[in-house]
Structure 1
Amino acid sequence: MDLVAVSREKYYIKEVDADKKSIYCHHDLMGELLIPTHKHDKAQMLYSEGGIVYVTTETRTYFLPARHFIWIPGGVAHSIHPSSEKVMMRNLYFPIEKDEESFYETEGIYPINDLLLQMMLFTNRWNGNLKKGSRNFIIANAIKAILPEICLTKLPLSVPSPKDRRLLKIIDYLEKNWGDTILFSDLASRFGFSERSLYRLFQKDLGMSFIQYFTIRRILKAIELLLEKKLSISEVARTVGYNSVPTFSNTFFKILGQRPSDYLNGVEILKKG
């Protein structure tokens, strides 16, 4: 094992929980394309800049775009997959307290407003354990305390992990054909299902319909393309299968809570900050 690997292991496995009462703070470039599956006793607030991050738990894959954060409760095994080694990761790890609000008990992705953004950027000067009772601990704990007040709705920026091998093949096909008009009847026929049996398979294995799954994945792909800034909004819409830009914009809004143009304008604030 090289020195970099040893350092990573020491950070996210050994150091985070070394002081059970502290808030652990870590800001750094990823420097890699994978943090393998691991877990820690403390809850994690992960905010990223400069790219997209996938967070995979035992049951779901979460899609973390710029200007959003993910809350991961303590004890939840997860792996982290950034789109680039140059993604900046801002992490705060919080000790679990007794009788905490239900907000802190579930995974979720939330937009970060200007207040929370400035508070997170303020922690940029810190790294390591923030001792309980210290000024920095109090400031970091204030970030945690306001989350249930301002993060009222989890965004559906995740998809369940399929277990059925038949469904894995279907999803692989969908992933390779973003821009195509895919009729459910044609999809069922292609893979040897009746429409009714394929509908049941999606519902049983993923807990959602084909339309729900494919719509979320298309919008997640659209976010990736928008952040690359190689295509216009209308070109992104066509690439992920929308012939109508207004329909694409409305669907984007339903999932992310922002129009594509507003989302990109919000991302620009990160650079100014």
Structure 2
Amino acid sequence: MSATDDKYYLTEVDKYPESIYCMHDAMGENDISIHAHHKGQFLYTEGGIVHVETPQKTYFLPARHYMWIPPGILHSIHPGSADVIMRNLYFPVEKDDKPFYEVTGIYPVNDLLLQMVIFSNRWSGDLNRDDKSAHLFALAFKHILPEVSIYNLPLALPYAKHKRLNEIIRFMSTNLQELIIFPELAHQFGFSERSLSRLFHSDLGMSFIQYLTLLRMMLALRLLLEDGMSVKEVAALVGYNSVPTFSTTFYKIVGMRPSDYVKLKTGVLGG
């Protein structure tokens, strides 16, 4: 048994099926092994990017965003730095709840939701109907999520099942600062352009350029938040010669300019 097997996320969250479970946890450098809950999970993190892996995808959860993990979804959690703090609320999901709660997603946190997360810091463990004010607040928290979570950010990369495509993706991942040209990439790995294009669509469900762009943005998020690099430095390291082009692409994916995203690093919540 690993040192983390007795942690709350494996033993306590589902002990009382009707309760709302609340936990704020300093992760340190500990990974959380693969597991699932009967309850839906609201996950907000501070202090760095967190990687959440499911059997199908790797999700990247940056600052000022939250992840919703539906009940029954296998996942493991991997902090990007030793300073990460997780703020979790686990909710029972009912059959007549909105479809929102059935979909894994990453969403920006607006000011209202941020204040509600801050308010929830005072609680730990199970919130039951006996504690009427806390339980009603937590229920309101749950039910407001679909109203304030309009844009499910594509901050996830699917796993490639095709062996040769995995080799291509590894090459792309380690050469993001270089100019990666699709015809040259196809030739280098023994594909025609048409067959490689079809493979990206059939295996990953997206085009080469869509995958490459997401790959670059995932690295950019980490460099901006964890390594403290300037926007200009990050743009170059992820393969953009033009800072405005990088900034526009970042905005389309993340929902804010990289210069604004960097400012979020100093806006972490109090414990």
Structure 1 and Structure 2 fold alike (TM over 0.5): yes
- Find 2:48's aligned residue among 22, 40, 51: 51
Report the 3-state secondary structure (helix = DSSP H, G, I; strand = E; otherwise coil) of the residue aligned with 1:125. coil
Give the aligned partner of residue 207 of structure 1: 205
Match of 2:186 in 1: 188
User: Which residue of the partner structure matches residue 175 of structure 1?
Assistant: 173
Equivalent in 130, 138, 141 of residue 139 of structure 2: 141
1:111 corresponding residue in structure 2: 108
Spell out the pairing of 1:183-262 with structure 2 (5 A cutoff): 183-262=181-260
1:50-100 deviation per Cα after TM superposition (whole angstroms, max 9, x unaligned): 011111112111110011000000011111111123200001000111311
- CA distance in 2 between counterparts of 1:35 and 1:180 reads 34
Counterparts of 1:90 and 1:186, CA distance in 2: 45
State the partner residue of 1:32: 29
Instruction: Give the superposition deviation at 1:126.
Output: 1.2
RMSD: 1.5
Letter of the 1:5 counterpart = T
Q: How does 1:93-172 map to 2 (within 5 A)?
A: 93-134=90-131, 135-172=133-170
Mind listing any 5+ residue stretches in structure 1 that lack a counterpart?
none
Residue matched to 2:268? 270
CA contact (8 A) 1:222 1:240 kept: yes
Q: Percent identity?
A: 56
- The 1-side partners of 2:228 and 2:29 are apart by 24
1:263, CA displacement in angstroms? 1.4
The answer to whether the 8 A contact 2:224-2:234 is kept is yes
Aligned length: 270
Paired with 1:247 and 1:169, the residues of 2 have a C-alpha distance of 28
SS in 1 for 2:150: coil
Q: 1:123 to 1:42 in 2, by over 3 A?
A: same
TM-score by length of 2: 0.96
Decide which moves more: 198-207 or 24-33: 24-33
Q: Which of 16, 19, 26 is the matching residue for 2:16? A: 19
Q: Which amino acid aligns with 2:24?
A: H
Following superposition, the deviation at residue 198 of structure 1 comes to 0.5
Distance in 1, matches of 2:180 and 2:45, equals 33
Post-superposition CA distance 1:225-245 (Å, at most 9, x none): 111353211111011110000
Following the alignment from structure 1 to structure 2, what is the Cα–Cα distance between the partners of residues 269 and 6? Answer: 32
Displacement of 1:133: 4.9
Distance (Å, rounded) in 2 between the aligned partners of 1:85 and 1:18? 29
| CA displacement at 1:268 relative to structure 2 | 2.5
Q: What CA distance in whole angstroms lies between the structure 1 residues aligned with 2:5 and 2:33?
A: 13
Alpha-carbon deviations, 1:193-245, whole Å to 9, x = none? 01011001100000001100000110111111111353211111011110000
Once the two structures are superposed, what CA deviation does each residue of 1:106-137 show, in whole Å capped at 9, x if it has no partner?
00000001111111011112111111352211
Counterparts of 1:136 and 1:82 in 2: how far apart (Å)? 29
Distance 1:21-1:252 versus aligned 2 partners, 3 A rule: same
- Identify which range, 135-144 or 65-74, moves more after superposition: 135-144
Equivalent pair of 2:26/2:86 in contact (CA under 8 Å) = yes
Looking at structure 2, the residues matched to 5 and 33 of structure 1 have their Cα atoms a distance apart, in angstroms, of 8
Partners of 2:196 and 2:95 in 1: CA distance: 44
Mapped to 1, the partners of 2:39 and 2:4 lie a distance apart of 22
Q: Aligned with 1:270: secondary structure? A: coil
The amino acid of 1:54's aligned partner reads: H
| TM-score, length basis structure 1 | 0.95
Q: Tell me which amino acid in the other structure corresponds to 1:246.
A: P
Aligned equivalents of 1:26, 1:162: Cα separation in 2: 34
Q: Is the CA contact 2:4–2:32 (under 8 Å) kept in the aligned structure 1?
A: no
Moved over 6 A (4+): none
In structure 2, relative to structure 1, the CA distance for the partners of 1:76 and 1:247 (3 Å cut) is same
Q: Distance in 2 between matches of 1:114 and 1:168?
A: 40
How many angstroms apart in 1 are the aligned matches of 2:28 and 2:217?
27
